[in-house]
């Protein structure tokens, strides 16, 4: 029996790339509010990007890129988890939808015209 050929669903979401190793934890100040990341190449991570770390014994953390960098080092705020110097730092690129939805959107009630009051 022949199976019908699969067609691409136009509403299919773009697939996210797997996490990419971008560096390692180089330094953790005593207050543990931020870290310095030693990058494994040119640092082109946007400010506000969430990075994840992975260390021994399944230790993980979430970091928020601050935008501060110097040479091969970049700063990130520790948002959650635990980490140690040497832990791997990963970035995950999540692509944005390439086409806007073709479904019409209902107008927002806050944008409706305001009726004029009689004088």
> How far is 116 from 100, CA to CA, in rounded Å?
35
Backbone angles phi, psi at 12, to 5 degrees: -65, 135
Q: For the segment 25-74, what is each residue's pLDDT rounded down to a tens digit? A: 999 999 889 999 999 988 888 899 999 999 999 999 999 999 999 999 99
pLDDT at residue 106 is higher than 60: no
Question: Which fold, 20-91?
Answer: Thrombin, subunit H (2.40.10)
Whole-angstrom distance, CA of residue 99 vs CA of residue 97: 6
Q: Which residue has the tokens 């969430």?
A: 50
Would you say 83 and 53 are in contact if contact means Cβ atoms under 8 Å apart? Answer: yes
């Amino acid at each position: 029996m022949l199976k019908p050929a699969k067609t691409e669903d136009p509403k299919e979401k773009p697939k996210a790339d797997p996490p990419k190793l971008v560096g390692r934890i180089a330094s953790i100040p005593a207050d543990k509010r931020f870290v310095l990341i030693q990058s494994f190449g040119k640092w082109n991570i946007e400010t506000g990007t969430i990075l994840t770390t992975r260390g021994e014994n399944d230790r993980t953390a979430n970091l928020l890129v601050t935008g501060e960098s110097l040479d091969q080092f970049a700063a990130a705020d520790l948002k959650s988890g635990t980490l140690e110097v040497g832990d791997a730092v990963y970035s995950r690129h999540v692509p944005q939808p390439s086409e806007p939805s073709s479904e019409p959107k209902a107008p927002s009630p806050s944008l409706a015209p305001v009726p004029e009051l009689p004088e």
